[in-house]
Amino acid sequence: MGISAQAPWLKFYGNMPAHLNYPKKTIYQIVRTTAKEHPKLVAYEFMNKETTYTQFMARIDRTARALVALGIQKGDRVTICMPNSPQALDTFYAINRIGAVSNMIHPLSAPSEIAFYLNFSHSKAILTLDQFYGKLVEIEDQLKQPVIRIIAQIKDELPAPLNLLYPMTKAARKIPKLPKDGSYILWRDFLRGGEKVKALPEDDMNYLEGASILYSGGTTGTTKGILLSSANFNATALQTIAASGCENIINKKMLSVMPVFHGFGLGIGIHTALVGGARCILVPQFNVKTYAKLLLKKKPNFIPGVPTLFEALLRTDMLEGADLSFLDGMFSGGDSLSVELKRKVDDFLKAHNAKIQIREGYGTTECVTASCLTPKDYARSGSIGIPFPDTYYKIVKPGTEEEMDPNLEGEICISGPSVMMCYIDNPEETAQTLRRHADGRIWCHTGDLGTMDADGFVYFRQRIKRMIITSGYNVYPSQLENIIDGHEKVLLSCVVGVKDKYKMQKVKAYVVLRPGVEPTEEVRQELFAHCRKHIAKYAMPYEIEFREDLPKTLVGKVAYRVLEEEANAQQGA
């Protein structure tokens, strides 16, 4: 029935229990418990402004009253389109407090993508920053239902005197001014509106009900809304604390640099920290230039991130001679950590007095995030680790439920308390991904190929589904091709991933133009502009190459692997 955190590998995890107790609480309720136990500790800090757990709970309840005042009720969906900021955290937990469902999306999503997410989720409201307001105006006629627009501003959360100086900064001057007659409600007015709500509705949301929607391409590469429960999130947090070997993270510092709309950032970088009584250092935007300064000033104990985040450690010139002994854990996920990069980072850590090694994890958004991690002081070359407590892994023959023998390659399947509820409004894809095997357990078929040795160490090999991962974000080529093919001058396109030292992969598009259209630079820039309008910034092609034709397989499909190999060869990868 697969292998869990029991013999034969418990010896590698030291004191980690094979099983945990999971409180029957919602996301909000479990953090409220932490706040009652540690009221004076700092829950999060943002731009040097600290918020204690007591203050955090008061902010959540105030935001919850404001949502109720807007007419948001139990079961309604509210979109959060924000970077890591106090307003984003307050709203995420407030939505859960009133029994509604949060819909988490990337703030750099293209306007048409935002329209899709709002329509798909049937959101009653959206929270975003003032700098993205123009996108909401652009999609007004694309929305299938009215959406209340709550506009937050960074200056509202800055400590004095930064809040007064911020409007004069270069960054602030770049933000278009909000129209005075616009259809929106500013964050401060939103909160003020909640003052008329004297009492919140009863806190009776069931921990097994849907709490939040994250997005993934599923097994077919088409966007899927993943419905996750409070139980899923809480299990991930408690398992991560146990598997990391850092059981007592109370008052420790978590560098929350992974974004709040991402399962890794939300589930590990924020919720795990808050469940454990740690402090989230909220980083709204990662910047290589300020990375070293941030580390040296804040001295975080834990850093969860994608490989590019740790590769940046090696490129900064401000850490020479720095003492990094304050680090208790460094966790890589979201993409494969190469053996060579791990070696370089471990050498870097040792040279800077850190007593840890970087640890690689693995997971899918369908399981919130990580469900597997290398032990604290023991790693096997190329392995992504061993399962969390109460989490089972098995390798099956692709397309079947037949379990493979140790060291034989097959599809990675996961079973445990963090496995999603379903893909929203997609029973076919749900049935394809979540399957009850003969052992009676529900298994999540990940669409990833891997092996598992006799000791239960898991090795990721490659993806069955066609997917590009760039800086930790999933990019589905078929979606980009649909957008590019939608341009009137395009006959056919193919999108591939090209290896990149920093992003791990970057996006390249091959395009065949319609007869009579000349492949000029003007047409190329026209296609780039078309892409910018419909594709998120992180998924944008870095190059568009024109071809008279694209290679085909024997059955007439575009041979994308041929183009992928060619692009990587040209790159010298």
For the chain, the structural domain boundaries read 10-21+220-463, 48-206, 468-571
Q: How confident is the model over 501-512, as pLDDT tens digits? A: 777 899 999 999
Closest CA to 362 of 378, 374, 348, 376: 374
What's the confidence (pLDDT) of residue 5? 43
Q: How confident is the model over 249-274, as pLDDT tens digits? A: 999 999 999 999 999 999 999 999 99
CATH for the 10-21+220-463 domain, from 3.40.630.30, 2.130.10.10, 3.30.230.10, 3.40.50.12780: 3.40.50.12780
CA neighbours closer than 13 Å in the CB half-sphere of residue 514? 8
Give the integer Cα–Cα distance in Å for 360 and 383. Answer: 8
DSSP letter assigned to residue 512: E
Average pLDDT estimate for 345-360: 94
Give the integer Cα–Cα distance in Å for 228 and 224. Answer: 12
CATH number for the region 48-206 comes to 3.40.50.12780
User: Looking at domain 468-571, which CATH architecture does it have?
Assistant: 2-Layer Sandwich (3.30)
pTM score: 0.85
Domains 10-21+220-463 and 48-206 share a fold: yes
Other residues' Cβ atoms within 10 Å of the Cβ of residue 75: 12
Minimum mean pLDDT among 168-177, 251-260, 529-538: which range? 168-177
Place of tokens 């849907």: 210
More confident residue, 77 or 18: 77
The top-scoring range by mean pLDDT among 38-52, 161-175, 176-190 is 38-52
Q: How confident is the model over 402-422, as pLDDT tens digits? A: 999 999 989 999 999 999 999
What's the confidence (pLDDT) of residue 376? 84
